[in-house]
A = this chain, B = another copy of it.
Amino acid sequence: MNTPNLETALKHASGLIDQKLGEFLVVPDAPEGRVIEAMKYTLMGGGKRLRAFLCIQTAKLFNVEEAHYARVATAIECAHSYSLVHDDLPAMDDDDMRRGRPSLHKAFDEATAILAGDALLTFAFEIMADKQTHPRKAVRLDLISGFSKALGARGMVGGQMFDLMSPGLALDAGALTRLQKMKTGALIEYSVDAGCIMGQVPDSIRSALTAYAHDIGLAFQIADDLLDVEACQDDIGKTPGKDEASGKVTFVSLLGLNRAKDQARILVEQAIGHLENFGSEADALREAAHYVIIRGH
């Protein structure tokens, strides 16, 4: 598929985030500098910045200033990065590889990985609270409030807990959908919502855009499950076949390959439908909807 808008927009997002991180993450010449080195290692690990992209592209629909959305998108990437670092720990998913490189606790050590995750999460809130993020206090507070809910025990962390409990549970498709909405969907949805919050848009527009994010979040997860079954290690930069080995229920194990693929395609169409009130300015978001099921990461 030809995706010129998406490619440009993803490069734009990556460039902005790298620039902001270069500004933010200065390693002090002191023993505690190690934790900032670790934060840099994981943040500069070559992720596709999908969440940053979603936040930025949504913000651009409403003419939000770059100075603002660049900071918010960076905070979101910090939070995403923290979740990966803690998720990879031996006591959690125990993954030694991430994006084709040793995961943080392998490149550094477990204690540093725990602390770097903690510092990334904390730093994300520090960025959001700063007045440079948005001149309106109400906007900053809405950003922080939504962020904390997306990340907390009823959002991402709750989803991770649910996921850890899942091998003992006979999940059906409804329960698995609920799990994934929390574990990966909440932050993806928030990334788009953050753009709406900065844009100070009416609720109807906000609902349409978060519905778009909801659908691509779920499509993304189905694609991830498909990738785990179909791909080899080189393709995904981490250990494949882990889901099956861990006895976890996935959309593929529940629906089978073909129905899972159909479901992902339906979600993508549905996601694009939610963008019907936008013109070509939303083309990158439309292309992204297709993109998430081509490549899960």
Instruction: Name A's B-contacting residues (CB within 8 A).
Output: 28, 30-32, 34-36, 39, 82, 86, 89, 91-92, 109-115, 117-119, 121-123, 125-126, 128-131, 137-138, 140-141, 144-145, 147-149, 151-154, 157-162, 164-166, 169, 182
**Contact partner, A165, options B31, B39, B149, B161, Cβ 8 Å:** B31
Task: Please state the number of chain copies in the assembly.
Answer: 2
**Contact partner, A144, options B144, B160, B164, Cβ 8 Å:** B144
* B114 touching A31, Cβ below 8 Å: no
Q: Which residues of B contact A128 (CB under 8 A)?
A: 144
The residue among A86, A112, A148, A166 with the most chain B CB atoms within 10 A of its own CB is: A148
Distance in angstroms between the alpha carbons of A128 and B169 in the assembled complex:
35
* B112 touching A89, Cβ below 8 Å: no
**Contact partner, A115, options B82, B119, B161, Cβ 8 Å:** B161
Distance in angstroms between the alpha carbons of A154 and B122 in the assembled complex:
11
* A166 touching B31, Cβ below 8 Å: yes
Q: Which residues of B contact A130 (CB under 8 A)?
A: 145
* CB within 8 Å for A119 and B157 given contacts A129-B148, A145-B130: yes
* A34 touching B119, Cβ below 8 Å: no
Q: Which residues of B contact A35 (CB under 8 A)?
A: 153, 157-158, 161
Q: Which residues of B contact A32 (CB under 8 A)?
A: 153-154, 158-159, 161-162, 165, 182
**Contact partner, A111, options B28, B36, B164, Cβ 8 Å:** B164
A32 CB → nearest B CB, Å: 4
- Of all A-B residue pairs in the complex, the 3 with the closest CB atoms, nearest first, are A91-B110, A126-B148, A32-B158
